Amino acid sequence: MDIVVRLATHGLIHCDYNQFNILVNERGKPTLIDFPQMVSTSHLNAQSYFDRDVTCIRDYFKRKFGYESELYPTFDDIRVTENVDTEVSASGFTREMEDTLLEEVTGCVESESGEEGEDEEGEEREEGEVCDYATGESEEKGEDENLSGSEKEEDVEKSAEFSKVQRNKSQKSLQLTLVMVPVRVQSQVLTPLLRQLAISMGTERRCPDTLVHEWGSAMLLRCAFSLFHQQSSRVVLVRAMSGAKSYSSSELLINDGKYSWLRNLGLQEQNPGVYDGTWHANGPTVTSFCPSNGKPIAHIQEGSVEDYRQVVQKAHEAWKTWREVPGPKRGEVVRQIGQALRDNLDDLGRLVSLEVGKIYPEGVGEVQEYVDICDYAVGLSRMLGGSIMPSERPGHALMEQWNPLGLVGIITAFNFPVAPFGWNHAIAMVCGNCTLCSLFCVQERRSQHPTVQHSHTLLSLPQVGQKVGVMVQERFGKKILELGGNNAIVVAADADIDMVVRSTLFAAVGTAGQRCTTARRLIVHESVHDKVVERLKKAYSQVKIGDPLEEGTLYGPLHSEAAVEGYDNAISEIKSQNGTIVYGGKRIDRPGHYVEPTLVTGLAHDSPIVQRETFAPILYVVKFTGGIDEAIAWNNEVEQGLTSSIFTASLENVFRWLGPAGSDCGIVNVNIPTSGAEIGGAFGGEKATGGGRESGSDAWKQYMRRSTCTINYSKELPLAQGIKFE
C-alpha cells in the first residue's frame, strides 16, 4: 500500500468512501489526499474526527483489497496536549515542539528493514506500551485491549471514546500516525517535517525548500511526496487544529463596543453555519479573523456531512413547489430579498470590510450590487420566454419554451463573498431554481454530490476549476466557471495620460489587488512609457493606507497571512528575474496583513512572473515598440481571458481592439479600467477563465433548460420529406 498523507485544510468537508476512492491514486504512486475537517483543540472533537478517519480508511481498504485493516495506534494512543494548542503563535512555536513532531513522525516511517516496534534509538518497546504521539512518552496499555471484537464494536457505538485495538497478526495491518499541527504554524512545521520524512524513507532528493503559499501546505505536501519511494502498510495523517476555542469572549471583536453593529445583523459569539429554513450546524467550529488587525471576530460552526445532505434534500423538495410559482411571483420574493439587503446596507457593508479587508465604500458597493441585481431580476421575471418562429408546415406553430433547471450550486470566493453570489442567486431564483451556496474552500468535494445534478457556478483558480468542471461534466451538468484573470491595460501613444493614471490606479490598487478584474499588466507604448511610470509612482505614493472602516482609507490589507507570503514570494521572483521595483515591494509594519502597492518595470512581456496571475497589488509595466497589433498579441498571450482595456483616441485602434483580431477576453473595454463591470452586461471570460456568463444580458439562459416545441393545431399531419403513411 502507498503512503497516504492527509492534510486537513480550512473548511473541507469529511469525505465518505466514494469520495475517498476517487481521491486515491490508482497508479501505485505515493498519494496525497487533501482531507477533511479542521479539528478544534477540544479533545472530544479531535477524537471524533479521528474516529471518522479510521472508519473511512478501514472501509476503503476493505472494499479495495478485500481484507479487514486495523489501524494502530488508536486515538487513545495520541494525546492532544497543551504544547500543541493553537494558542501557540507562529513566533511561539518552539524548536523543541518541532523536534517532537519530527521525532514521532519519522519514527512511524522507518524503513521496512527495521524491526517493527523499535523506536528511533533502536530500543524495543515493551509489548504493554504504546507511544504518545504528542509527547513522545510511553504509557501502559489499558485493560480494554483484552475486549473481544464484538465487545469493542459495542463499546465504540456506546461511547465517544475510541477503544484501543489489538493488532490482528493474521491479517494485513496498517500503521496510522496522527500529527496534530496548529493551523497557524502549518507552513513553519511542514517544510522541515517533510524533508525529514523524505530522508527517513531513503530518498536522496530533498523536499522543496520553499512553500508556494498561493496553494498552501497541501501543494508542498504534494510536491514532497512525489519524491518518496513506495512504502508498505504505512499511513501518516497530518491534521491541522483550529483555534476557535482558544479565544476568550473578551478577545472577540463582536464584544468590542466599536463593533456593536455586528449585533444588529443577528450575529453572536457562536454562529451556526448551515441554513435550510432554520440555522443549525454539527461540524467543527472555526474562527473568522479580521485581516486589518489579525483579531478574531466570532466563531462559526460548520456543517457536518449529514447537515449538508439534509440541506440538499430540503432544497430539492422546495424546488418541486418553487418551480410551479409564476415568474412574476418569484420576482416579488426576490424583490423582498433585495429590500431586506437595502434596509441593512450599511451594516452589511461594514461586515464585508471587517472580514475581507475591503475599504468601507467597496464593502457597501458590493452589497449594493446584490440589491441592484435583485431589482434587475424582478424586471426579468416578467420577460423570461423564448422565440415564436414561423413553421414551414401549415397549421403548425414553432416555439421555444424555457423551464427551470432544478438545484443551482453557487461556490464563491473570499474576495467577493456577496456580489457574485447575488448575481447567481437572484437570477437563478426568478428562473425557478433553488440555490445552494458554499464558500470556495469546499468546492471540490461538494461538487461531487450526486443530488446537485443541474448546475454549478464557481469562482476559483483555473487549476481548481478544471477539476470541478470535469466532475460536473462527467454527469453532463451545466457549469459557469469564473477562474480569475491576468488582465492587461494597453496604453497607445495617443492615450489621455491623465485618464490612464487614474484608471490604472483604481484597477491595480483597488481591493489591494484582490479582484479577479484587477489590472496586473500595463502594456505601454515606448513613447509614453517613462511619463506613465513617473505619474503612477506619484499617484501610488498618495494612496491612503489604513483601517478599511476609517473614512478616507483607499487601500486596506490582504486577506490572510498566506496572501502576504504569496506577495513576498512574488517579490523574490521579480528580483530573481531582474525586474525593477520602482515603488513598494515590502510588507507594512503594522497589525494585520498589509503590504505596499507595488509597481514593477524592466521585465519582458513573456517573463514567467508576468505570465502568471499574482493575486496581490503588483502591477507589471511592460514597454511595446511596434503597432497596436503587437500590444494585442501581448494582451492575448496569457492563459486567462477575463477582462482587458485599451486607452487610445484612434477609432482605428478601437475597432481593431474590439474586432476578431483584437482582445480575446470576455470583457473588452475602451478608455475605462479593467474593473467596474455593470450588472446589465454578461460577466465572464474565455480560455482558462472558464467560460460561461453571469449577471445581465442573456446570462439567465444558463439557469434554464430550453425546449423547442412544435404544435399542430390543424387536423392534418404533414410528415417530413413528404412521406405519407396510409
Give catalytic residues, as residue numbers: 482
Q: What distances in angstroms separate CA 199 from CA 158, 230, 493, one per listed residue? A: 42, 13, 57
* Beta-sheet strands, E only, within 584-634: 598-601, 618-624
In terms of phi and psi (left: phi > 0; alpha: psi -120 to 50; beta: otherwise), the region of 695 is: left
What do you get for the CA distance between the two ends of the chain, in Å? 69
Whether 576 and 568 have beta carbons less than 8 Å apart is answered as no
What is the spatial distance between Cα 355 and Cα 351, in angstroms, rounded to a whole number?
6
What is the spatial distance between Cα 640 and Cα 611, in angstroms, rounded to a whole number?
10
C-alpha cell at 416: 467577493
From the list 437, 419, 413, the residue with the least C-alpha distance to 369 is 419
Residues in Cβ contact with 517 at an 8 Å cutoff, skipping those fewer than 6 apart: 485, 487, 507, 642, 643, 667, 674, 675, 676, 677
What is the spatial distance between Cα 35 and Cα 20, in angstroms, rounded to a whole number?
9
Map grid coordinates 458590493 to a residue.
366
Whether 199 and 130 have beta carbons less than 8 Å apart is answered as no
What is the H or E stretch that residue 435 is in? strand 434-439
Q: What distances in angstroms separate CA 659 from CA 632, 651, 665, one per listed residue? A: 11, 12, 11
Q: Which CB contacts under 8 angstroms, 24+ apart, belong to 583-588?
A: 583/536, 583/537, 583/540, 583/541, 584/540, 584/617, 584/618, 588/545
What is the layout of strands, in order, in the sheet containing 704-712? Answer: 388-389, 396-404, 704-712
What is the spatial distance between Cα 334 and Cα 328, in angstroms, rounded to a whole number?
10
Dihedrals phi, psi of 311, to nearest 5 degrees: -60, -45
What is the spatial distance between Cα 441 and Cα 288, in angstroms, rounded to a whole number?
14
